Amino acid sequence: MHLLMIVTAVTIAWWLRFFGKIPQGNWYLRWQKTLFLFLFPPLLIFMTVTSVVCMGTQGKMGGMYTDSFSYLLALIFLGFFNIFGIKLAFQGWKAIKSARECPQITLDGKSARLLETQALFAGQMGFWQPELVVSQGLLQTLSPVHLESVLAHEQGHYQYRDTFWFFWLGWMRSCTAWLPNTEPLWQELLVLRELRADSYAASQVDPLILAESLLLVVSNNSITSDICCAALGTGDRLEQRIEALLTPPEPIPAAQLPSWRIFLLAFLPLITVIFHT
């Protein structure tokens, strides 16, 4: 019975990922469906194997005896989940430690860390309370008004706690790289994260100035790491961000406000624990 639960959960997760399509529209509507397609499948698998481990190898469920194979399989799943989580946590800790070794400065009345490089960089480093890190090259290249727009964008990341939430989403990405469309959905979330921060910044500064800042940073930047490319955007990503900044924002219908209730369905496997005898 437990093996049937695991197979069912994996089948549902695979089906959702394979047949789910990335929606069109404004960044907000795209965010809601993309997040569901990305997060719900691994959450369902995780809750299923957790419930199997909680029930153990003894007893019956639904009139069927349990076995040690399904229990061992669930333990292997959880073991890999934990290994990936520890690996990401260690990488994050090293990044935070490196950022805190940089000298501290004050920008627009807020503290920041100065990265001594001529490359153009600005980003948040940390977990729930991240620190702003900017490069010397960015401060020397951008005018005060363009720098203000970049800082407003980074404040958007801080406002939405992107460093915190994308740590957990990155964990889900690592755990379910074998599921269909994991990477396309992840890349879409990265783009939408930047569009969301752009939208926040556009409410604080002139969107045209922010678009100009983005182009200046991209054209003068020498950093080619995956993280920076994801943040800045190239090709189609860059076009999406510029177009969104130059287009009047669409109102968000009240009927389509976010709801986390649908994610509660992923916790249904935990209910099976009470039927285990």
pLDDT of the residue at 96: 87
**With the CA atoms of 143, 146, 149 and 153 taken in that order, what torsion angle do they form, in degrees rounded to the nearest 10?**
-100
Q: In this structure, are strands 110-115 and 64-65 parallel, antiparallel, or unpaired?
A: unpaired
pLDDT for 162-178, tens place per residue?
999 999 999 999 988 99
pLDDT for 24-68, tens place per residue?
767 777 888 899 999 999 999 999 888 888 776 665 555 555 667
pLDDT of the residue at 62: 54
* Residues near 12 by beta carbon (within 8 Å), at least 6 away in sequence: 41, 44
pLDDT of the residue at 225: 45
The region of weakest confidence among 91-100, 125-134, 156-165, 231-240 is: 231-240
HSE, side-chain direction, 13 A CA sphere, residue 266: 21
This prediction has a pTM of: 0.84
pLDDT of residue 234 exceeding 60? no
Distance between CA atoms of 11 and 7, rounded to whole angstroms?
A: 6
Domain ranges of the chain: 1-274
Q: How far is CA 166 from CA 126, 160, 172, 276, in A?
A: 11, 10, 9, 35
Task: For the chain, state the CA radius of gyration.
Answer: 22
pLDDT of residue 2 exceeding 60? yes
pLDDT of residue 227 exceeding 50? no
Structural contact between residues 180 and 18, judged by C-beta atoms closer than 8 angstroms: yes
Average pLDDT, the chain: 82
